[in-house]
Amino acid sequence: MAALRFSSGVNYAPMTNTALLDNVAHKDLRVRIGYSAEFGDDVNHVLVFPTEFVFVQREYPILFRKDTNGDLQAVALLGFGKDENLFLDENGGWQARYIPAIQQRGPFLIGFRERDVDGEKVREPVVHVDLDHPRISESEGEPVFLKHGGNSPYLEHANRMLQIIYKGTEHLRPMFAAFEAAGLIEEIDIDVELDARTKFKLSGYCTISEDALSGLDGAKLQSLNQAGYLQLAMLVMNSLGNVSWLIELKNRRRAASRT
């Protein structure tokens, strides 16, 4: 059963020991919670999905970039430097009202299996667990299953995050196809100058062109709106205002390091 893997920039070892989650085989499984470099959270961007844009845009800039196959993906910008997540604190917290689903899912991922339904093969999503993930434990953390075999509240939450990812993945290609057909995607460079000696230049990203969006005729706007992509385009565009919040967080961290 192949599992869907999402490259989110995390730096723990590749998923090589995945298994179909089972309440008998994994009855004692626990997951260490919190956020830290140990768990792969010290990254300056993470994948996000259309199904969570409305929450993501309140906290983070949403940008587009191409993956290794040349396909566009959406990411939330978390910092300016390499391996810099400005939302992490020293106590295992993530200081934001919303944490992207791919970080909240923990060691779980989506796989598929085939079932016979009325003589036909049906492919259905199932939950897999990465047993090599640094969050996995049998002695500390949140239990995955209840004592008598039911799903724990933690697993129910992880399942909701996986649904956001799974449904969001289905929308990615048609969303980007609609944006490209309307000529809305443009490259963007983000230049940040904190002082005369501290500057950052982020390149290789794309966003929604405000000029292109405002120049669309009524028919194209209506088509985007009916497909649900007009709102997504506006959420992406509006999210760029959060770059100033990242600068504020960066300045606070620099000031704290000097005291």
pLDDT confidence bin for 229, thresholds 50/70/90:
very high
Determine the pLDDT at residue 4.
36
Is residue 8 a part of any domain in this protein? Answer: no
In a domain, 7, yes or no: no
Per-residue pLDDT band for 117 (boundaries 50, 70, 90) equals confident
Query: Does residue 69 sit within a domain?
Result: yes
Is residue 5 in some structural domain? Answer: no
Query: Which residues constitute the domain of residue 171?
Result: 18-258
Give the pLDDT band of residue 24 (cuts 50, 70, 90). Answer: very high
Close Cβ partners of 91 (under 8 Å, ≥ 6 residues apart): none
User: What pLDDT score was predicted for residue 6?
Assistant: 34
User: Taking residues 199-217, what's their average pLDDT?
Assistant: 95
Residue 4 falls inside a structural domain: no
- What percentage of the chain reaches a pLDDT higher than 90? 78
Instruction: Please name which of 104, 138, 155 lies closest in space to residue 30, comparing C-alpha atoms.
Output: 138
> Is 6 a domain residue?
no
Residue with more model confidence, 2 or 63: 63
Chain-wide mean pLDDT for the chain? 90
Which stretch of DSSP H or E encloses residue 82?
none
How many domains are there within the chain? 1
d(CA 51, CA 178): 16
Q: How far is CA 172 from CA 120, 149, 168, 175, in A?
A: 28, 35, 6, 5
- What b/e readout covers 93-115, taking b as 16+ CB neighbours within 10 angstroms? ebebebbbbbbbbbbbbbbeeee
Does the pLDDT value for residue 233 go beyond 90? yes
One-character DSSP codes across 172-217: HHHHHHHHHHTT-EEEEEEEEEEETTEEEEEEEEEEE-HHHHHT--
What is the pLDDT, as a whole number, of residue 14?
47
Instruction: Grade residue 122 by pLDDT with cuts at 50, 70 and 90.
Output: confident
Residue 16 is predicted with a pLDDT of: 66
Q: Classify residue 103: in a domain, yes or no.
A: yes
What's the pTM value of the predicted model, to 2 decimals? 0.89
- Closest by CA to 232, choosing from 21, 63, 50, 29, is 50
For the chain, percent of residues with pLDDT exceeding 70? 93
Please check whether residue 12 lies inside any domain of the structure. Answer: no
Mean pLDDT of 220-224: 96
